[in-house]
Amino acid sequence: MSENLENVTPELVKRKRRGAFAEVLFRLSKSPLAMFGLAIILLLIFCALFAEAISPYSPIKQDLMHMFETPSAEHWLGTDEFGRDILSRLIYGARVSLQVGFIAVGIALVVGGMLGAVSGYYSGWLDNSIMRVMDVLLSIPQTLLAIAIVAALGPSLMNLMIAVGISAVPTYARIVRGSVLSIRSMEFIEAARAVGSSDLRIILRHILPNSMAPIIVQSTLGVASAILNAAGLSFIGLGIQPPNPEWGAMLSGGRQYIRDFPHMTLYPGLAIMFTILALNFLGDGLRDALDPKLKR
Amino acid sequence: MNDVNDKYIIVKNLKKYFNTKRGRLHAVDDVSFEIKKGETLGLVGESGCGKSTLGRCLIRLLDSTSGEVLLKNKDNDSYVDVTKVSASEMKALRKRVQIVFQDPYSCLNPRLSVWELIAEPLIVNNIYAKSADMRRRIRELMDTVGLAERLENSYPHELDGGRRQRIGIARSLALNPEFIVLDEPVSALDVCIQAQILNLLNSLQKEFNYTYVFISHNLSVVRHVSDRIAVMYLGQIVELCEYQDLFKSPLHPYTQALLSAIPLAKLDVKRERIILEGDVPSPIEPPNACRFAGRCRYACDKCRQGAPELKEHEPGHFVACYRAGELNN
Amino acid sequence: MSENNNNNLMLDIKDLTIHYETDSGVVHAVEGLNLQLGHGETLGLVGETGAGKTTTALGVMRLIPNPPGKIKSGEIIFNGENLLDKSEADMRKIRGGKIAMIFQDPMTSLNPVMTVDKQIAEMIKLHRNVSESEALKLAGDMLELVGIRRERAKDYPHQFSGGMKQRVVIAIALACDPELLIADEPTTALDVTIQAQVLELMKELKTKFSASMILITHDLGIVADICDKVAIMYAGRVVEYADKRSLYSNPIHPYTNGLFKSVPSIDEDVDELPVIPGLMPDPMDLPKGCAFHPRCALAMNICSQEQPKMCDFGNGHCAACHVMAKRYEL
């Protein structure tokens, strides 16, 4: 099938696909909030990629002469309890936080999305067994589940992402299943079957694109909670190991000094907040841009 | 029509039951009939009478509970049972049997453009090796159903109901089918657009010799398009005959009531209006009796004790009613 | 339209214009509409989807969703008073009390979590000073009147079939003895035999309550069955207005003619149905002159220039068409 699509009608597919992508970008560009979100995300990705080049100091080098410094010309955002430059730690931290956020959500989305789509499309015993397992997982608090997984796998960045990702799988499975169920009963699914479409094609081409809206919204929120979750795990020593910089760890590290040196928690907090805000704006814009009905 | 004896589709004792929490729902209950090549069989009845379910069973969009749907093979006189072929054989059969859906607002994926919608049947069935051929075919189809070329990048929500229904028709024609189930293709359309679509379906049939099953609740529309008409009530065919006979001399009391209930756009037409009491009874575990007996003003004890079979009362005029002969006038 | 007996009119809509102002443009839903309805009359408002029938009805009820809808100009004189000058509080008394509306879909116009007698009683209590128990008793009476046994009063809407639900909706509409009943496609969602039952009931009750009625429909058969007067709407305007008998025997406007011809007949064979070519114009971009001229086989030069006026073709049979006015030398 897919082979046929690529080999036989390259011109057609290319023409349509490029058109559609350009169309979505064009529509996205009409929403100022979405563009603001996109700009911040791009900035963060840039920071993460070129952290070595742009950060003024090493993120782990201690400088005990300059502990707890408030923002100044040398240290734009001040220093922490070991005299490490907060700006540099934030820039390097973007690397870890973005990775954790995106990859964990990616894992959750792929696994949960597949389970949910299969479950919703083929109701019956398969649906029942998948969803009961998901219910069991949902009944365990997400953080506790992540702790259990990462404790079993051993603390590392990869395992952290897997743990955070898996603990979010049931949420995605539920959302995808719900929207698949509502789309599945629509007549155009039957129409697709009537012209001979395979189940896989129906799921990928007809059902998933039409259930995008709630998935995109949940994913953008999910990245945010994944970052916070990872921070929580780092805090109890199961995630990023010190002295490696990570926003969540910085946030919790600065917590005990918050009365005297609020800048230590303020900046990582702001970084997390802006990332989440940007993702939400982008997600909203994307959802609208992907819906041809909202085109004008 | 080619030959009078040319049975193109033979439906034998077709049943479709759904299991519900309250018992078995008899959506289609022991239905048998034949369709000739190039003929239009009208299927009328009220909502819930099983006409759409029957239509879907005919082309295996739904699996039947029991019975046969025999479709004549292209090259010889043998038949293939649509209800029993394997999945891979069914995929090949899909090119021969097609459906046009009722609601042009929900039967098209809102995220696909007109071009993509019409291309879909061609792509999933690997019809064309060259994209140029496919493009030509799509243009041709759009032309056949009367869609302007400039609309090819439009999305369904930008078009009116009539144009959407034309897309649905183009999709079903794409694979060069022989047999098309039209499931209420004009019910969601305004009268002017309805007339345009009916004319289109008519001229397509003339050009390509399609065999139609035309499902509708609108008797005047069915009369306009059909050669023969089957009236359904609660999962069963109660009357089946040539279209003129049905309107001239309806034999089943339900058909008579149905005909008298059509609001006519004419004044001073003298006719007796039979107002049926009550609603259609539940199709869940129906009793073994004439299903119309409860609302029928002619019902006698016999009607309540056993179900009448569909019998040929006059040549070519089938009716399922014990008292059919007595009631005619 | 005839001006002789204006004092007898129950409803006189003058030059009503309703627009929906959306981001992408102004939808001209109703444009300079004139309509009159006498006491005890039933008027059929006929037209295709998007002709402005429902907007007109909502306009009379002052229920146009705002934004984006807006009544731009005109008067709606109901029993001598202009409804457009009324305060919202006054309108609330009129809605359901003097003017009641029956909506198309009985499935969605009833509250699913409230028993039907409570829904009727709620309406009665809103407009009359009665106690709860009295209202419930009256509700039971109303149900019996529409052919539902009193025992079923405590049932929820989902326990009724479509036809029965529409009966409940009718009971609610009639609960406060309205003077004007607006029924928006009341039987479109119903099957033919059930439709026949409901139409029969509406005819009977209309006489009993001696109310006037505006029946919105696209089905000329239903109009033939129960209306006295007919108004044909096209692109937000009334293009023809006449007594039913006069309209059915001698339709004047080319659109009305096309409408009649495109309905398949149940006693004549035709190979091809005569169709009106083309589509309804986009209400955001109405053609200049007569809105129907691009689809009209008879169109002349003037049709694309000037909006035709309503002319009386005799005995109150009015139509807005340049060609016909010329032909009849009006």
Using alpha carbons only, give the angle B288, B293, B296 rounded to the nearest 5 degrees.
170
Name chain B contacts of A191, Cβ cutoff 8 Å.
99, 101, 107-108, 168, 171
Q: CA A137 to CA A122: how far, in whole Å?
A: 21
Is B224 in the C-facing interface, judged by CB distances under 8 Å?
Answer: yes
Chain B residues touching residue A201 (CB < 8 angstroms): 124
B24 and B134 in a single domain? The answer is no
Residue B28 domain-assigned? yes
* Six-digit token string for B185: 């293709």
Q: Report the predicted TM-score, pTM, of the whole model to 2 decimal places.
A: 0.82
Q: How far apart are CA B177 and CA B204, in angstroms?
A: 12
- The CA distances from residue B280 to A11, A56, B235, C12, in Å, are 55, 81, 11, 42
Q: Which residues of chain B have pLDDT under 50?
A: 1-4, 329
Q: Is A3 within 8 Å of chain B by CB?
A: no
Count chain A–chain B contacts defined by CB atoms under 8 A: 90
Q: What is the pLDDT of residue A4?
A: 35
Cβ within 8 Å of residue B71, ≥6 positions away: B8, B9, B79, B80, B81, B82, B93, B96, B97, B179
Distance (Å) from the C-alpha of residue B37 to the closest C-alpha of chain C? 19
Confidence band of C2 (pLDDT split at 50, 70, 90):
very low
The pLDDT assigned to B100 comes to: 93
Contact B220 C263 (CB under 8 A): yes
pLDDT classification of A7: cutoffs 50, 70, 90? very low
Q: Does B17 touch chain A (CB under 8 A)?
A: no
Cross-chain CB nearest to B46 (options C193, C199, C274): C193
- Asked if residue B186 and residue B302 are part of one domain, the reply reads yes
Contacts of A292 in chain B (CB under 8 A): 110-111, 113, 155, 157
B61 lies in the same domain as B184:
yes
Q: Given the structure tokens 């989440």, which residue do they identify?
A: A276
Backbone angles phi, psi at C276, to 5 degrees: -85, 120
Q: Do C264 and B160 touch (CB under 8 A)?
A: no
Q: Is B139 on the interface with A (CB under 8 A)?
A: no
Contact predicate B42/B223, CB 8 Å: yes
CB under 8 Å to A23, separation ≥6 — which residues? A295
Contact B131 A186 (CB under 8 A): no
A213-257 pLDDT, tens digit per residue, is 888 888 887 887 888 788 778 777 777 777 788 887 788 788 888
Do residue B266 and residue C192 have CB atoms under 8 angstroms apart?
Answer: no
How far CA C324 is from CA of B270, C234, C243, C301, in Å, comes to 32, 17, 18, 14
Give the separation between CA C275 and CA C280, rounded to whole angstroms.
Answer: 13
Of the partner residues A194, A210, A291, the one whose CB lies closest to the CB of residue B98: A194
Residue type, C276: I
Burial class (CB in 10 A: 0-12, 13-18, 19+), B91: middle
Q: Which residues of A touch B108 (CB under 8 A)?
A: 188, 191
Q: How many CA atoms lie within 13 A of B239 on its CB side?
A: 27
In this structure, what CATH number is given to the domain that contains residue B270?
A: 3.40.50.300
- Structure token pair of residue B304: 């309540």
Enumerate the residues of chain B whose CB falls inside 8 A of the CB of residue C279: 160, 162, 193
Q: In what order do the strands lie in the sheet with C9-22?
A: C25-38, C9-22, C69-78, C81-82
The 3-state DSSP class for residue A30 equals coil
Whether pLDDT at C284 is above 80: yes
CA dihedral C211→C216→C221→C223, nearest 10 degrees, is 40
pLDDT for A17 equals 41
Q: What pLDDT is attached to residue A295?
A: 53
Q: Phi and psi dihedrals of C323, rounded to 5?
A: -65, -50
What integer is the mean pLDDT of C79-100? Answer: 89
Residue B98 φ/ψ, nearest 5 degrees: -135, 170
Contacts of residue C281 in chain B, CB cutoff 8 Å?
none
Higher pLDDT, A294 or A147: A147
B101 in a structural domain: no
Among A101, A84, A54, A141, CA closest to A267:
A84
Nearest CA in chain C to B226: C269
Residue C7 confidence (pLDDT):
58
Closest-CA distance of chain A to residue B83, Å: 15
Are B19 and B167 in the same domain?
Answer: no
Which of B93, B131, B167, B171 is most worth mutating to test chain A (most A CB atoms within 10 A of its CB)?
B131
Q: Note whether residue B62 is domain-resident.
A: yes
Asked if the model's pLDDT at residue C302 lies above 60, the reply is yes
B257 → chain C, closest CA residue = C193
- So what's the pLDDT on residue B5? 55
Q: Which of A3, A7, A9, A185 to mutate to test the interface with B (most CBs of B within 10 A)?
A: A9
CATH of the domain at A37: 1.10.3720.10
CA-to-CA separations, C159 to B18, C164, C197, in angstroms, rounded: 21, 9, 19
Per DSSP, helices labelled H in chain C are 53-60, 88-94, 116-127, 132-145, 162-174, 192-209, 220-226, 244-249, 254-261, 322-327
C163 vs B contacts (CB less than 8 Å): 279
Whether residue B129 lies within 8 A of chain C, CB to CB, comes out as no
Residue B328: per-residue pLDDT: 54
Residue in B closest to A296 by C-alpha: B158
Q: Which residues, other chains included, contact C39 with Cβ-Cβ below 8 Å and sequence gap of 6+?
A: C8, C9, C10, C212
Burial C89-112, CB ≥16 within 10 A → b, else e: eeeeebbbbbbbbbbbbbeebbee
Show the tokens assigned to C9: 């009119």
Residues A99, A103, A108, A111, Cα dihedral to 10°:
-170
Backbone angles phi, psi at C185, to 5 degrees: 45, 60
CA distance B324 to B199: 35
**Token pair listed for B198:** 């009916």
Whether residue B242 lies within 8 A of chain C, CB to CB, comes out as no
Helices (H) and strands (E) in chain B, counts: 11, 12
Question: Cα separation of A28 and B323, whole Å?
Answer: 69
Report ipTM for this prediction. 0.84
Residue B103 lies in a domain: no
Alpha-carbon distances, residue A139 vs A110, A160, C23 (angstroms) = 21, 21, 46
Q: Using the beta-carbon criterion (under 8 Å), do C279 and B160 form an inter-chain contact?
A: yes
Model pLDDT, residue B151: 87
Dump pLDDT digits (tens) for A90-102: 898 888 888 888 8
> Which candidate, A104, A137, A58, places its Cα nearest to that of A231?
A104
Q: Is residue B104 part of a domain?
A: no
Beta strand B40-44 with C99-102: parallel, antiparallel or unpaired?
unpaired
Residue A12: per-residue pLDDT: 36
Q: What is the pLDDT of residues C183-222, one digit of tens each?
A: 998 888 888 888 888 888 888 888 888 889 999 998 898 9
Residue B120 domain boundaries: 110-174
C259/B220 touch (CB, cutoff 8 Å), yes or no: no
Tell which residue, C217, C163, A191, C192, has the closest CA to residue B44.
C192
Instruction: Let me know whether B82 and B12 are in one domain.
Output: yes
- pLDDT at residue C234 above 90? yes
- To the nearest whole Å, the CA of A1 is away from the closest chain B CA by 7
Residues of the domain holding A179: 31-294
In this predicted structure, what is the pLDDT of residue B71?
A: 93
Residue C175 has pLDDT above 80, yes or no: yes
Percent of chain C surpassing pLDDT 70: 98
pLDDT tens digits for A101-155? Answer: 889 999 999 999 889 988 988 888 899 999 999 999 889 888 888 888 888 988 8
A8 pLDDT above the threshold of 50: no
pLDDT score of C46: 93
Q: How far is CA A192 from CA A53, B134, B163, in A?
A: 52, 18, 19
Phi and psi at residue A207, to the nearest 5°: -80, -55
Residue B246 lies in a domain: yes
How close, in Å, is residue C83 to chain B by CA atoms? 32
**Burial group, residue A234, by CB count within 10 angstroms (0-12, 13-18, 19+):** buried
In Å, how far are A99, B294, C191, C192 from C147, measured between CA atoms? 68, 18, 18, 18
Q: How many CA atoms lie within 13 A of A294 on its CB side?
A: 16
Is A1 in Cβ contact with B172 (below 8 Å)? no
Element (H, E) at C76: strand C69-78
Of the candidates A5, A16, A191, which has its C-beta nearest B107's C-beta?
Answer: A191
Whether C27 contacts C54, CB under 8 Å:
no
Into how many domains does chain B fold?
2
Q: Which residue has the tokens 């009916």?
A: B198
pLDDT band at A290 (very low <50, low <70, confident <90, very high): confident
B108–A191 CB contact, under 8 Å: yes
**Total domains, chain A:** 1
Cα(C296)–Cα(C324) distance, integer angstroms: 12
Q: Chain B window 284-323: which residues touch C at a Cβ cutoff of 8 Å?
A: none
Q: Is the pLDDT of residue A187 over 80?
A: yes
Are B30 and B153 found together in one domain?
no
Tell me which residues of chain A, numbers 198 to 227, contact chain B at a CB-CB cutoff of 8 Å: 198, 201, 205-206, 209-210
Percent above pLDDT 70 for chain A: 92
Cα–Cα distance, A143 to A147 (Å, whole number): 6
* B228-233/B236-242 β-pairing: antiparallel
Correct CATH for C6-98+212-327 of 3.40.50.300, 3.40.50.880, 3.30.70.980, 1.20.1260.10? 3.40.50.300
What ranges do the domains of chain C cover? 6-98+212-327
**Shortest CA distance from C193: residue in chain B:** B261
Q: Find tokens 């108004």 and name the residue.
A: C231
Q: Rounded CA gap, C117 and C154, in Å?
A: 6
pLDDT of B137: 93
Max mean pLDDT range (A14-18, A24-28, B88-92, B271-275): B88-92
Same domain, B70 and B185: yes
Residues 6+ apart with CB under 8 A from B299: B290, B292, B293
